[in-house]
Structure 1
């Protein structure tokens, strides 16, 4: 009986050592935030837009309802034209399972005031990510203030 239990325990240990670890939503969202910030900080509107699904809804602080990567690219092209730089997303919380992940973040950037002087910008954001077939995340919903 002891040999049987020992053998069963060994088999279970081997099985669980090869079972894929479930990804931590916080780690996945942090990685997505880092990549998004990198694209933003290169002032590359097309690269930023590539982080959005074809049916994405983007709700910026302007109260516009922007749909899809084309609308996102146009919006951020305008932001970059205003000289906004230094974007940073800091994770507050992430959760999810399977295909959808939700992240909340504090964001900051360096903007300009009406006279063109440097001015810090900041707020909070909510992101709904859709996991793609290759395991990457794309934004399905993005809103910020």
Structure 2
């Protein structure tokens, strides 16, 4: 009897890494619409401000606000990932650059938690995204 769990978890990790790369790419192009498209229609984003951001319009507006504030150079680095054919979860270290009031660059970063729903085409879309 062979155990397929290790390869399954590696496949999920690889899927999350690819999904993160696409998300980071959209963020770093300052494309709020493309970032919002990475979420299911009833998704929630829970930022450190304690806001509850729901749905595509609010998510797009939230990220557009970050872009207008000068945030760029976003990077997600997987800490852990797992799941099954329906739901995938991951934790990540995130980093980005923002701007201070004087226009100088300021590094930002923290930890993020993501819950993805697998779509009918096999892709992953975010259902829940929280970060500090």
TM over 0.5: yes
CA drift at 1:116: 2.1
Unaligned residue ranges in structure 1 (runs of 5+): 1-20
Decide which of 19, 30, 43 is 1:43's aligned counterpart.
30
**Deviation above 6 Å: which 4+ runs of structure 1?**
none
Larger Rg: 1
* Counterpart-to-counterpart distance in 1, 2:118 and 2:41: 13
Count how many residue pairs are aligned between Structure 1 and Structure 2.
Answer: 125
Decide which of 12, 21, 37 is 1:34's aligned counterpart.
21
Residues 1:128 and 2:106 aligned together? no
The aligned residue for residue 83 of structure 1 is 70
Decide which of 90, 95, 98 is 1:103's aligned counterpart.
90
The aligned residue for residue 113 of structure 1 is 100
* Counterpart-to-counterpart distance in 2, 1:33 and 1:69: 18
* Counterpart-to-counterpart distance in 2, 1:94 and 1:49: 22
Residues 51-80 of structure 1 show CA distances to partners (whole Å, capped at 9, x for unaligned) of 000010110111100101111100000000
Unaligned residue ranges in structure 2 (runs of 5+): 1-6
Task: Tell me the TM-score normalised to structure 1 length.
Answer: 0.83
Of 69-78 and 110-119, more deviation after overlay is shown by: 110-119
* Counterpart-to-counterpart distance in 2, 1:73 and 1:85: 16
* Counterpart-to-counterpart distance in 2, 1:128 and 1:30: 14
